[in-house]
Structure 1
Amino acid sequence: MTSPFRATPSSTSIFRTAMGADFERLHPQVQRRFSVGLDSGEACAGHGVMDRIWHGGAFVKPFLTLGAARHILVPRTGRNIPFTIENVPYTDTFGRETVSFVRTFAFPGGCTRRFDAQMVLGPRGDRILDYLGTHQHLASDLHLSADGRGGLVIRSGEHRFREGPVDLRVPGLIGGDAEVREWYDEAARRFRIRVRVTNRRFGPLFGYEGSFTAEYTDVRSHGVRAGLRPVREESRMNRDGA
């Protein structure tokens, strides 16, 4: 299918590799954001507002609070919350190209919450492996596709828990299925994003939606700021991608 958008030249990135020809169906601005990588030499910082941050029933909050200690998920709710996302490429300690997805939410009262992820290309090159949190204890396969209108859709697959020698698949009954939709709003000249995490039994768990603008910097000049990389890095890939 011919893209309805005029593709902009972009370097190879882990996202372009994972999506293949489908990458060309993305809006040029979305293409540029997801061309961030060592080849392009660019980092991207997004600044905006989350119109709404929400979570499910009261039973969900203890799990979100536990995860927040390692910068996984956000236990608070709110509206019109200032937001930043930092996408910076670097080579991890195992020699893999990695792109950070560090989201910071600035809640009222000076309370900030982070939701950290580091993404690498799966060994088969057909998906992204998403390591979550400061210690990368959770890993998830991500499947990327274009939505036909220039937007990007990211859906999670298998989740695994890693701690020392422990390597366990997280059962779907207790895990969360994530869907991320990101697109470029031509009229507003902003990126829009909608994130929703659900459980197959308990329903909606957590999500947010809002918009942001993006700016690009030369990663070779600026480097990777302190605190952006995780405390501990995990070398193991998810089994179905190995």
Structure 2
Amino acid sequence: MKKIQGGPKWLYPLFVMGSRWKLLFPEYGRNIPFTIVNSPRVGKTGEEQVHWERIFYFGEKKRYFNALMSFDQERQIIKDYLGEPSLLYSDLVLTVSKEGALIITSKRQRLIIGRIEIPLPKPLQGLATVTERYVEERAAYSIQVIVRNPLIGDVFSYEGEFRENNTI
């Protein structure tokens, strides 16, 4: 990844805890090697799912930002379960920009505690905006992820490029 940033320093304990759930992590920096592995799965109810394993390499330390996603045909959204085991849930909406980039925005979110899912009020949400595009002249995919909270601003972000079956 070209750049990974965290939020305010006082969120550090939250990021340390998040690393236990393969959700957030306290490290940040520039030119961080990473891999993304997407694996198909079938849920308990027969629902088709995709497991996203994002691994960032900070020296000898591996940090994860994992998710399990599926499509809700009735609501026309992507269901995004974040962390392992899932700690957060978010509705994702996909749109396309005028320039042809895929824009993914998070909407309603819930905190997951075991089998209990608690809706999060807006002031407690980390709303993500993801912009992905293919850059033909570099034969690479470009990605920018920004997670913002309405009260404190940017909480977490990363941006960079990658190629299929490769890291940059």
Band the TM-score falls in, shorter-chain normalisation: over 0.9
Aligned residues: 166
Is it true that 1:56 corresponds to 2:7 in the alignment?
yes
Partner SS state of residue 88, structure 1:
strand
Q: Hey, what does 1:107 align to over in structure 2?
A: 58
**Could you list the per-position Cα deviations for residues 33-81 of structure 1 after superposition, in whole angstroms to 9, with x for gaps in the alignment?**
xxxxxxxxxxxxxxxxx01100111112111111111001221101100
Task: Indicate the structure with greater strand content.
Answer: 2
Task: Indicate the structure with greater helix content.
Answer: 1
Is it true that 1:177 corresponds to 2:127 in the alignment?
yes
Q: How far is the alpha carbon of 1:95 from its aligned partner? A: 1.1
RMSD value over aligned CA atoms? 1.5
Task: State the one-letter code of the partner of 1:211.
Answer: E
Preserved contact between residue 21 and residue 87 of structure 2 (Cα < 8 Å) = no
Percentage identity across paired residues of the two chains: 36
Q: Hey, what does 2:78 align to over in structure 1?
A: 128
Query: Which of these two proteins has the greater Rg computed from alpha carbons?
Result: 1
Is it true that 1:82 corresponds to 2:33 in the alignment?
yes
Preserved contact between residue 55 and residue 62 of structure 2 (Cα < 8 Å) = yes
Q: Hey, what does 1:146 align to over in structure 2?
A: 96
- Looking at structure 2, the residues matched to 54 and 111 of structure 1 have their Cα atoms a distance apart, in angstroms, of 17
Q: Hey, what does 1:208 align to over in structure 2?
A: 158
Structure 1: gaps spanning 5 or more residues: 1-49, 216-242
Q: How far is the alpha carbon of 1:165 from its aligned partner? A: 4.7
Instruction: Compute the TM-score of the two structures, normalised by the length of structure 1.
Output: 0.66
Q: How far is the alpha carbon of 1:94 from its aligned partner? A: 2.5
Task: State the one-letter code of the partner of 2:150.
Answer: R
Instruction: Compute the TM-score of the two structures, normalised by the length of structure 2.
Output: 0.93
Q: How far is the alpha carbon of 1:123 from its aligned partner? A: 4.6
Task: State the one-letter code of the partner of 2:146.
Answer: R
Is it true that 1:163 corresponds to 2:102 in the alignment?
no
Query: Which ranges of 4 or more aligned residues in structure 1 deviate by more than 6 Å?
Result: none
- Looking at structure 2, the residues matched to 192 and 204 of structure 1 have their Cα atoms a distance apart, in angstroms, of 20
- Looking at structure 2, the residues matched to 178 and 162 of structure 1 have their Cα atoms a distance apart, in angstroms, of 18
